[in-house]
Structure 1
Amino acid sequence: MKNIIFILITFLTYTILAQPPGGGGRRQQGTSAQSNQTQKPVKFNASNMAGIFYYDIEDVIKKTKVKEENNQFLVSKELKNYNFKVKEISFLNSKKFTDLDAVVNSIPQGGDIEVIKKLRTKIDELIKPVREDIHEMEKVLNDNLSKILSEKQFKKWLKYQKKKKESIQPKRAKNNQRQGQRQMQNGGGRRRQ
């Protein structure tokens, strides 16, 4: 695993240093230098991409309106168990995530498209197993909570969980949102049936 990260860092460093001054990479049409200066680049966070976050137990009990002490205890126990397992995964992958953050955040904005594509596939290869582990743990947590909570409380839990996941996802730049809206208006964003 260390070899893969070392090779990735070496490859990216070489490709970045081999570019001519000024970036030399292809830029998207329709973007001006002025709009690139006003937008702040979003910092890459590998642990967020993998879906690593922890639940605040008191907040969950408050949001789901669990009143009965026994159910509060059971919900608390399930969330502590989940948080502990996520912390283990985070600890085991912390070096990989730190290295990945450093590499991705060192790439200049508007860099070489081919390098970025290769980097994305490498990120997926490194993060996908962690994301799958987290997803499996969420399934177990949700199954256990569905047995403890009432139907109404469980719906509130799922809503809370969804918001929590969305809060760690990176926000799209306004320019990208406008392009996505135009695609939707032009019929480019229709789902297959």
Structure 2
Amino acid sequence: MQSTPELEAELLLNSDVSIQGWAVATITEAHLLLQMGQHQEAKGMLREEVEKFKTVAHNWSNSLIKEGNSSLSTAYRFSASPFAEYITPERVTRIKDISPSDLSLNQDQVRRKKNEASVEFEMSYAQERYPKSWIQKQIAIAEYLDSLSELLARLESLEAFADLCESRNLKSSKEILPDENAPSELYLLPAD
């Protein structure tokens, strides 16, 4: 939480390992609390940690999306043509979800941001200003931000699971989960 978000390989690697470790530790603690039927403790801990995690994800997003050219200082730049074969629209949406500057945009503003980014890449100077190395760096940024958004989504879904366990007044979260002998399939947890 204390490292300054910046695009420097060693810092990014160390931060990523720390952030993932933090998420795993939080998820593990929450699951243990839920297995022991301590729903309120799990929910309180998750609420606190999810807010902290959200702040970290937003800080990294702000830092890594910021670009010298204001037309490209948006998660929607990843939807432009240079990234079409590398970054799916779903990934752009997930990155947008942790980008504070993009979260509050309405549909017209989103359309304008996408259009501005597309036009920037069509300009005559684009190949010189945005060489293949720059494109590859942007793809790496998108992958990193997407991994942060996925971790945040997992933490948030665990919050919802804790709510479900509490609403059903379960003695243990194991009561609602398939046991070890259940076949490996997709299971849906019924919501009330």
TM-score band (shorter)? 0.3 to 0.5
> Please, what TM-score do these two structures have when normalized by structure 2?
0.33
> Please, what TM-score do these two structures have when normalized by structure 1?
0.33
RCO higher in 1 or 2 (8 Å CA, sep ≥ 6)?
Answer: 1
